[in-house]
């Protein structure tokens, strides 16, 4: 469904490189939309070229203000190449549903995605580096940073943190049902959307965790939510795949 994304906040003016040309009605340069997708994703992909060879590396990320941070071992290919000022593209994608049409051609997916273009800058001072590492940890589990050992001087030295500006950012979003050719709507073929979600499961303790160490509140609250949701789901009769074909 080519649903336009309605801007509700200040937008990033698209550059010639970041402007979406394919299905532009799905494009958004709205900062709230871009921020929300980056914040919802746990993994990004960073693409770059090293010595004529393209690479695309999955890695953790965290947005702080108008920049996205990535980090890695100082000796890694990605970090060394990006630290030297190489042009890069960072993307994230959240899949929300399988869109099943009446024709093979019109099958699709509902998704939210963001692409950033630019060159990373090195985070050199220790205070800013610690702030970035805190952001990574809080991106994974809010409240976790205060509960763990902070990085040692040796660990900080072995880690490089890089930042990419949101100056050249674009989002692309698809929502809604399949869009078929008009004659195909008469076909006796099931069509619709199969929702997809990424959910946090019940925490599983490490085998070497002492028995007197309780689940922290920031995880326990989420575990309770999962339990309630699971019980509610079990009480609802759902169609099987065969039922909807």
The structure's pTM equals: 0.84
Q: Which residues contact 150 (CB under 8 A, 6 or more apart)?
A: 130
Instruction: Transcribe 105-136 into DSSP letters.
Output: TT-EEEEEEEEEEEE-EEE-SHHHHHHHHHHH
Instruction: Note whether 62 and 141 are within 8 A (CB).
Output: no
**Predicted pLDDT of residue 9:** 53
Query: Residue 117's pLDDT is what?
Result: 97
Mean pLDDT over 199-215 rounds to: 94
pLDDT higher at 239 or 105: 105
Return the number of other C-beta atoms located less than 10 Å from residue 194's C-beta.
12
Q: In this predicted structure, what is the pLDDT of residue 222?
A: 64
What is the rounded CA–CA span in Å between residue 144 and residue 124? Answer: 24
Q: Which of 7, 33, 8 is nearest to 166 (CA)?
A: 33
Supply the CATH classification number for the domain 24-198. 2.30.110.10
pLDDT category, 12, cuts 50, 70, 90?
Answer: confident
Question: d(Cα 193, Cα 178) in Å, to the nearest integer?
Answer: 8
- pLDDT, the chain, mean: 88
Please tell me the predicted confidence (pLDDT) of residue 5: 45
H or E stretch including 105? Answer: none
Instruction: Return residue ranges of the chain for CATH 2.30.110.10.
Output: 24-198
Q: Taking residues 116-137, what's their average pLDDT?
A: 96
Could you tell me the pLDDT band of residue 93, with boundaries at 50, 70 and 90? Answer: very high
């Amino acid at each position: 469904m080519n649903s336009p994304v309605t801007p509700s906040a200040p937008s990033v003016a698209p550059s010639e490189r970041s402007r979406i040309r394919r299905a532009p009605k799905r494009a958004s340069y709205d900062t709230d939309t871009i921020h929300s997708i980056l914040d919802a994703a746990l993994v990004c992909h960073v693409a770059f070229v090293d010595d004529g060879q393209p690479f695309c590396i999955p890695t953790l990320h965290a947005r702080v203000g108008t920049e996205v941070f990535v980090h890695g071992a100082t000796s890694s290919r990605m970090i060394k190449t990006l630290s030297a000022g190489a042009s890069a593209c960072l993307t994230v994608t959240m899949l929300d549903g399988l869109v099943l049409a009446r024709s093979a051609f019109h099958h699709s997916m509902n998704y939210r995605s963001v692409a950033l273009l630019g060159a990373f800058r090195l985070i050199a001072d220790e205070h800013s580096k610690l702030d970035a590492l805190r952001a990574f940890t809080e991106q994974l589990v809010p409240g976790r940073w205060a509960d763990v050992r902070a990085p040692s001087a040796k660990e900080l030295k072995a880690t490089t943190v890089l930042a990419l500006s949101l100056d050249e950012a674009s989002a692309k979003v698809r929502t809604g049902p399949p869009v078929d050719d008009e004659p195909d709507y008469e076909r006796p073929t099931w069509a619709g959307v199969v929702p997809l979600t990424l959910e946090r499961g019940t925490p599983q303790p490490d085998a070497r965790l002492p028995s007197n160490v309780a689940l922290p509140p920031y995880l326990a609250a989420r575990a309770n939510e999962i339990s309630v949701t699971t019980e509610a789901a079990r009480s609802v009769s759902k169609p099987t795949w065969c039922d909807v074909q």
